[in-house]
Structure 1
Amino acid sequence: MNLKILNYELSVCKINNISEINFNDELFFLGKTDQELSLVCNTKFVPQKCISCENGWKALRIEGELDFSLIGIISKISTLLAINEIGIFVVSTFNTDYILVKSDSLDKTVSVLEKEGYIF
């Protein structure tokens, strides 16, 4: 399976409302539940009035469009990374999945996954 490291410095934020989101940002993910409003965005576009924010994330994209019938892709990757004590934050879109790791864990992440046959 092919993975691509995206060239963005990302932040994971809890925000109050969407009025400060830069909707022209190349990459952002917005999630809303009955308990919170979360945003993953380029660090340079973090809203000024965040409730909480965690900087220093890098994203790996699973290349290609993933069919909904495919099972266990995130499970396998997350298990490999958990065994190696690498924390993750996962975001999915209609086409594919994104695995975020802390920037200081990126080299170790790549090494672990390459040993298991993943191609970057």
Structure 2
Amino acid sequence: MPLTLHVLPGEYAVCRLDPQEAPPAWAWAGPLSSVTRTLAELSVVCAAQNVPPEVEAQRGWAALELQGPFAFTLTGILASVLVPLQGAGIGIFALSTFDTDYVLVPESQVRKAAEALRAAGHTVVD
């Protein structure tokens, strides 16, 4: 199933906070933010420029938005994106929402990721 992916503007960071902390105000600015809490951590994905320097974070991610929405009954949506990226040797960080999925790739490899996805039949819009 050919998909359309949009490269979102800006650099993103994946942050790890204490699970007891409240989601920080800085997490919410920008075109994409996600907060996930488990018993072990509070993970935040947001614009890298918003992350305070003292926060444990992996910066340097680019975000690709899969054009949705996708029905919950569809299968293989993420696999159709992740398999070509794996074949190109590109690591990912994946997020899902009610309507769609997002794949973060290292900013330094976003062009290589777009090439691999296009070769697999997908459309990538910069």
- TM-score norm. by structure 2 comes to 0.87
Deviation per CA, 1:48-67: give whole Å up to 9, x if none: 542x2100000000012111
Contact kept, 8 Å, 1:21 with 1:47, in 2: the verdict is: no
Deviation per CA, 1:40-86: give whole Å up to 9, x if none: 01011114542x21000000000121110110111121111112110
Show structure 2 runs of 5+ residues with no match: none
Structure 1 residue 42 and structure 2 residue 47: aligned? yes
Contact kept, 8 Å, 1:20 with 1:47, in 2: the verdict is: no
Residue identity matched to 1:14: R
> Deviation above 6 Å: which 4+ runs of structure 1?
none
Pairing partner for 2:115 from 88, 97, 111: 111
- TM-score norm. by structure 1 comes to 0.91
* SS of alignment partner, residue 95 of structure 1: coil
Partner of 1:28: 33
Partner of 2:99: 95
Show structure 1 runs of 5+ residues with no match: none
Distance 1:20 1:34 in 2: 17
Deviation per CA, 1:7-58: give whole Å up to 9, x if none: 02100000132353325513210011111110001011114542x2100000
Q: CA RMSD in A?
A: 1.4
Change (3 A) 1:46 1:72: same
* SS of alignment partner, residue 123 of structure 2: coil
Pairing partner for 1:4 from 1, 6, 16: 6
